[in-house]
Amino acid sequence: MPKTIPSFLLPFLERNPLQAGPLLTTTYDLTLSVGWIDTRLLEIGGWVVLIGHKNESDPLRAVLPIPIHTTSLKPSSLKTIFNQLSSLSLENLPQPFEPLAPSLDDLRDEITKSTLTKEEGSQEVSNVDTETPTSQAEKGEREGEIQEDQVKLDKETIYTSIVTPDSTVVYYKISKGIKKPADIPDE
């Protein structure tokens, strides 16, 4: 675990002392252990919520970190959080924070690049990339448009991360309204 607290977290930790420990633990768990990407922090209904997802194909999900012995989270608080979550759009969300560590994909790409560079170091590269910078930029723009259209925000579900004093984190799924188990897909 990092020895210093990331600076982007400090204001949230200071403004929300009840959630400070669970927020820090949940942030580390989701971003470092689970591998969440596009993770951001947002204050909703007097609570700090993490919003992100594990895969780009998954919808963005909201996680509410709380300590195990809290009595502060009441049904009225959940109703407020759901109402504010339902009024959010992707444009209203803050920018994702920088990853706390490189992802496995980033590390794999870095190793592949360094291996290729070493192999090609003594040889002249005969294959030249035929894409021009302009066509690469256009390709990136098209991919960005596709990704923005595909990203959704799950407004019907809140996950709570309940953190114990020994840093154990347990996640519970809370759905808006009454849902039968058959209505809730497995993840």
State the Cα torsion 72-76-80-83 to the nearest 10°: 140
Q: Go through the domains of the chain in sequence order and give each one's CATH number.
A: 10-102+152-183 (3.40.1350.10)
DSSP 8-state class, residue 7: T
β-bridge partners, 152: none
DSSP category for residue 151: -
Token match 């470092």: residue? 32
Cβ pair 174, 160 in contact under 8 A: yes
pLDDT at 83: 92
Tens-binned pLDDT, residue by residue, of the chain (187 aa): 556 888 899 999 999 999 999 999 999 999 999 989 999 999 998 999 999 999 889 999 999 999 998 888 898 999 999 999 999 888 888 999 988 888 777 888 889 888 877 666 645 444 444 444 444 444 444 444 434 556 789 999 999 999 999 989 999 999 888 777 766 666 5
Q: Please state, as a whole number, how many other Cβ atoms lie within 10 Å of the Cβ of residue 109.
A: 12
Q: What is the pTM of this model?
A: 0.74
Q: Are 160 and 67 in contact (CB under 8 A)?
A: no
